[in-house]
Amino acid sequence: MRKNNDNRNKKPPHYIWGHHAVVSALGNPKRIIKKLYLTEKNEAHLNDLNILSQHQVKILHLGEIDRLFHQQMVTHQGFVLETLPLQKKPLDEITNSKLLVALDQVTDPQNIGAIMRSAKVFGASSIITTKKHSPGETGSLAKAASGALEYINIVEVTNLAATLTLLSKKGFIIIGLDELGDSMMSDVKLDHDQPRVLVMGSEGKGLRRLTKTKCDIMAVIENKTNDEFSTLNVSVSAAISLYQLSIGN
């Protein structure tokens, strides 16, 4: 007799948590909501926002939510959403954008979430990640993104170098951020209508050699202290670079 494989093929529940992450997800019509867990206090808060009527709600005491997620050690703030991950965008649907961010094997979900927040503020429409060596959508990423996950497209590609080549052929200027870059990021000047891609390297290793060969400009963030200090976090570097690209054009 063939064994029942239903349990083996069943995917574990997908959760996101945190006030801003959950409220933004509830307002996203593209989100498939399965269940919402709230404390009584937060239920009253969402009732005031008039967004609970279309969703199944389960009211739990704070201790019950803590027990539900005791192994994950999450800071949920009394907001937990069981949902399906958002659909990834194909590359050909974002090539009409003016500003993209490409991440070369950035693996920390909190860094990616923080980069999403900066991307939202400074007008980037999408983040390109590699299918390998990137976390995908996780609860930690959603919490760090503080709602930006619902606005920024995620595009997963198999080969980042080939993707940058394709974008270059589409008219994008490829700007890589590197500690040994030969241009100051603050000096990069582009026409207002010129589409561009900001490419950020992984934590520690930076941009890979092949990725660097696909960049039209290799830029560095100016160190005002004129010393060897160069330990900016990748998400902080992204925020500075996106800001400088936004004010310089």
Give all domains of the chain, ordered by start, each with its CATH number. 6-83 (3.30.1330), 91-247 (3.40.1280.10)
Q: Please name the residues in contact with 30: beta carbons below 8 A apart, sequence gap of 6 or more.
A: 86, 87, 150
Residues 146, 234: Cα–Cα separation, whole Å: 18
For the cut 90, the answer to whether the pLDDT of residue 69 exceeds it is no
Residues 133, 235: Cα–Cα separation, whole Å: 17
Residues 18, 216: Cα–Cα separation, whole Å: 39
Average pLDDT over residues 105-118: 95
∠44-46-52 over CA atoms, to 5°? 110
Residues 135, 115: Cα–Cα separation, whole Å: 14
**Tell me, what's the pLDDT at 166?**
97
Residue with tokens 């009409």: 96
Helix (H) or strand (E) holding 133: none
Q: Which residue has the higher pLDDT, 147 or 249?
A: 147
**Cα-based torsion angle of the residue sequence 38, 39, 41, 47 in order, rounded to the nearest 10 degrees:** 20
Residue 127 is which amino acid? I
For the cut 60, the answer to whether the pLDDT of residue 183 exceeds it is yes
Structure tokens at 85: 């991950």
Residues 240, 41: Cα–Cα separation, whole Å: 37
**Tell me, what's the pLDDT at 167?**
98
Residue 73 confidence class, pLDDT cut points 50, 70, 90: low
Residue 129 confidence class, pLDDT cut points 50, 70, 90: very high
For the cut 70, the answer to whether the pLDDT of residue 121 exceeds it is yes
Q: Count other C-beta atoms under 10 Å from residue 86's C-beta.
A: 17
Taking all residues of the chain, what is their mean pLDDT, rounded to a whole number? 88
